[in-house]
Structure 1
């Protein structure tokens, strides 16, 4: 598969009830630079999350079809257009069959280029993305689709696994200099200073690393746990004699060569994560597979992440939900992104302070500036995010429900970078706020026309009706609008 700039241009689908959803995501005539972001906005009920889910499903099913992991075409009818470098690909799936095109010429699926990765990112427990295990061995991990959400099964989520997931990604990538560079930017955004420390506390025996353990004890425990009905039993059944010997050697010998820290209740095994010199993190990477076996056997608790500065030490468990959300999201992307990827993010503003929402896009682009060939598509309700969009690397799509319940989409050409909140709410979201400066200007312009004796055109009347319909009844400007519109009702 060749690697080039990936750009998703257009998507259309029809649901089971014949409702059409058609979206232009980019201006094909416009030249974009850097990591590309598309923000999809719209009121509740405009199917933003469903749209993201459908697009990920199409890419996932095309990948399966091309790799012969499935022998049937996608269930949903759709039409999609995207570019990889200078080649424009389009796929149409309708009642007659599925068709593939490259630069308007029909091709076989073997010639169809796909993005290197399709990432589905969400922090919601009820997201609409398809769940799949990243370590699923059934297909050898060759799928381009990655679910980066908080669910641990199709409809199950555990809060403690969010922390475990974050720690797991830090450990597995702690020898990657670029990953550590991105981690530093993430921590700077969160204003978290100091070093990282990952600790493993004994569970069954609080003095485990001091007193040691015998092979006989380990065998008795593995035999007992392998016969229990639990999610860990299958793993434990596959432990070999060499695995058991490795575990005892680690507890009795290797752990004493590591950093053991005494706490009130036990002695924990701790590792510092050096963000500047990745080659100093080799012990943790080497030890981690054995430590995971110790966790499966309930010898040690799931790890804890701590931040150490000159003045204090605090656990990651004590951070806010917004901090956990941001770290989880960015680390998930950082550990899975490749060049020529498409990343779908559903409402990433959840739990984030408005100041963070304003800086979100610029921070995202700073973290992943080396991935200018990727396209990030975000469904959001946050007007704050739109004020941080640079026109040369971003697009805005708004969805609106029409009277017949169909969805209308608009690809905006406004440059919202640096706009005020009120300007974005009114001009992009179509939301009227009390004493909104821009609403007042619209009404002032119409009042000036009236004072000069000029006739109001139909668009003026429609604008006044729209403003009044969406305005708070208690707004003083509402009385002015009633008087003006009253003249045209007679």
Structure 2
């Protein structure tokens, strides 16, 4: 994210508005410049408002006539999300909720079918990219009734028909096309544009459609989509939803993509996400996440075009203010240092604390005027989750050195 025009972002901002303005400016700049792609990862403790920022961004860019975003994809697989449950204008809600805060699991196959069809109708190569990314083929089936008689009028949601005959929604030729799908497993990527268009119309009437997955391994086993693990389902749904809105000028907002994902899938998230967009350049992805693995592995493959925005609250106050700071992916030196710095956590037997102490002392030698800032940083590190008693003793020893010898450091720096 190009943020060179934003000054003093490491200092506390006005609650919420400073952060929101910062995000808006960065997104507007990147979508208009076309020198992307650009990614922004928002992290912070629960309650800092990551999901709410995504919802606000959707509303802001969706409601403005001068918006640089051509489409806003609001993506979530959680039972609850903060997005508005609606598609309007440029906003496309691709969450899990279908009404209120409910999730009807029987509708997931139909939702995924619609998402894939939408991608096919925009660019048929989309579904092939999805299949390649996930190493699985996507197929659908519409069950033949036990009676063996196919009466489309009786196989759809009558509330959708509104007492009208099926012929008012599908003409005779379209009904023949739909009837030809019954009792078969049809691969989405084999559909013609005409077939995909007709199937999309039919799915709007809420028929019982099932999705099947054929894994691209040695056995090429075919299983029901609902028999996949929750992680496999969420992974497929997330990438399919991204593909449904992947285009030039897209703003993609993804809330907690790591839900149920195995560590290896988290590691590959950023790289696969970027691959899904193919050769597109002008788009911006904003991800709210709790996963340091997603971020650190993203930094490994993509150091220049992504940034991490860290939301923080001063819990020591009765009414804590929201502040934020940011840094580029290129400034992430390692996964453990990322966890210590941005997630305020020292993992078990990590060496990141020792490295931070050593670098702080060296920085004090090289920058004597910054000793007080370095002391403040070390003091705050003692309060991070997971810092051991031994680490705290080492931090205290370093603090004693800095406090006792700070004047000497100035003298030595001046060559006296």
Once the two structures are TM-superposed, the CA of residue 368 in structure 1 deviates from its matched residue by 0.7
1:235 and 2:189 correspond: no
Query: Does the C-alpha gap of structure 1 residues 290 and 163 become closer, same or farther in structure 2, counting only changes over 3 Å?
Result: closer
1:202 and 2:144 correspond: yes
Query: Does the C-alpha gap of structure 1 residues 449 and 290 become closer, same or farther in structure 2, counting only changes over 3 Å?
Result: closer
- Pairwise CA RMSD: 4.1
Query: Does the C-alpha gap of structure 1 residues 28 and 439 become closer, same or farther in structure 2, counting only changes over 3 Å?
Result: farther
Tell me, yes or no, if the aligned pair for 1:200 and 1:304 is still in contact at 8 Å: no
Gaps of 5+ in 1: 11-17, 64-111, 135-140, 226-230, 261-267
Tell me, yes or no, if the aligned pair for 2:313 and 2:321 is still in contact at 8 Å: yes
- Normalised by the length of structure 2, the TM-score is 0.75
Once the two structures are TM-superposed, the CA of residue 40 in structure 1 deviates from its matched residue by 1.2
**2: distance between equivalents of 1:51 and 1:243?**
40
Tell me, yes or no, if the aligned pair for 2:246 and 2:277 is still in contact at 8 Å: no
Partner of 1:159: 105
Larger Rg: 1
**1: distance between equivalents of 2:375 and 2:269?**
38
Partner of 2:337: 423
**DSSP 3-state at the match of 2:330:** coil
**DSSP 3-state at the match of 1:391:** coil
Tell me, yes or no, if the aligned pair for 1:399 and 1:409 is still in contact at 8 Å: yes
Partner of 1:307: 214
For each residue in 1:6-48, what CA deviation from the matched residue of structure 2 results, as whole angstroms up to 9, or x when unmatched? 99988xxxxxxx9443123449999884321111112222211
After TM superposition, the structure 1 = structure 2 runs for residues 1-400 of structure 1, keeping only pairs within 5 Å, are 19-23=15-19, 24-25=22-23, 26=26, 33-63=35-65, 112-132=66-86, 134=87, 143-174=89-120, 176=122, 178=123, 180-192=124-136, 195-203=137-145, 205-208=146-149, 232-239=158-165, 246=172, 250=176, 255=179, 258=180, 268-274=183-189, 279=192, 282-283=194-195, 285-286=197-198, 289=201, 301-307=208-214, 311-387=220-296, 388-389=298-299, 390-400=302-312
**2: distance between equivalents of 1:53 and 1:480?**
43
Tell me, yes or no, if the aligned pair for 1:471 and 1:478 is still in contact at 8 Å: no
**2: distance between equivalents of 1:327 and 1:51?**
25
**DSSP 3-state at the match of 1:156:** coil
**DSSP 3-state at the match of 2:253:** strand
Tell me, yes or no, if the aligned pair for 1:360 and 1:385 is still in contact at 8 Å: yes
Query: Does the C-alpha gap of structure 1 residues 283 and 245 become closer, same or farther in structure 2, counting only changes over 3 Å?
Result: closer
- Normalised by the length of structure 1, the TM-score is 0.65
**DSSP 3-state at the match of 1:472:** coil
**2: distance between equivalents of 1:206 and 1:123?**
36
Which structure shows the higher helix fraction?
2
**2: distance between equivalents of 1:154 and 1:364?**
29
Once the two structures are TM-superposed, the CA of residue 183 in structure 1 deviates from its matched residue by 2.6
Which structure shows the higher strand fraction?
1
For each residue in 1:142-183, what CA deviation from the matched residue of structure 2 results, as whole angstroms up to 9, or x when unmatched? x1111111111232221222222112222454455x3x4333
Once the two structures are TM-superposed, the CA of residue 361 in structure 1 deviates from its matched residue by 1.4
Tell me, yes or no, if the aligned pair for 2:75 and 2:253 is still in contact at 8 Å: yes
Once the two structures are TM-superposed, the CA of residue 184 in structure 1 deviates from its matched residue by 2.8
Once the two structures are TM-superposed, the CA of residue 129 in structure 1 deviates from its matched residue by 0.6
